[in-house]
Amino acid sequence: MPTAGRLAGAVFYAVLGAVLAFLLVPYFDEARAPKYWYPLVIIVGVLVGWIIVGSRSGQGTGAAMGTALTGAAALAFWVLLLLSGYDMIQVAMRGRFGGPMEAVIGVFSIMLDYAKVFYSPLNLLVWLGGGLVAGLLTDIFGSRYR
């Protein structure tokens, strides 16, 4: 059911996703992100904000901080998983995997490679700090506008 907390979570985590997408573009090869990069991160941000963070808004500051970090972790996980899944399909179409199980394992290998490439203290600070701010603002909206 739509609530102000869910709407606020969707908006704030979409903004966080857009900021992170912008910050991570230089980490791609030749600073060229895939065409689907911005929509992917923003849509995942909307879904994480709506489903995970927004549904738990209005429970107090302590719970909001935990939910905010959960939302930030979910945002990173799903973006990396979807990005890696797309890359795995591209590699699988070239016949580079021995079978379907090797392709599934390859997704997580590619995911780990992306995580290593994207890691920097600034990105970590924006990811965690932005997640906390977005989660706390979502909690404020969720508790104030019921």
pLDDT over 90 at 146, yes or no: no
pLDDT over 90 at 32, yes or no: no
How many distinct structural domains can be found in the chain? 1
- Host domain of residue 32: 4-144
DSSP-derived 3-state class of residue 68: helix
Name residue 39's amino acid: P
Give the model's pLDDT for residue 145: 84
- Which tops the pLDDT comparison, 1 or 133? 133
Rounded Cα gap, residues 116 and 97, in angstroms:
22
Cα–Cα distance list, 145 to 2, 40, 134, 142 (Å) = 12, 29, 16, 6
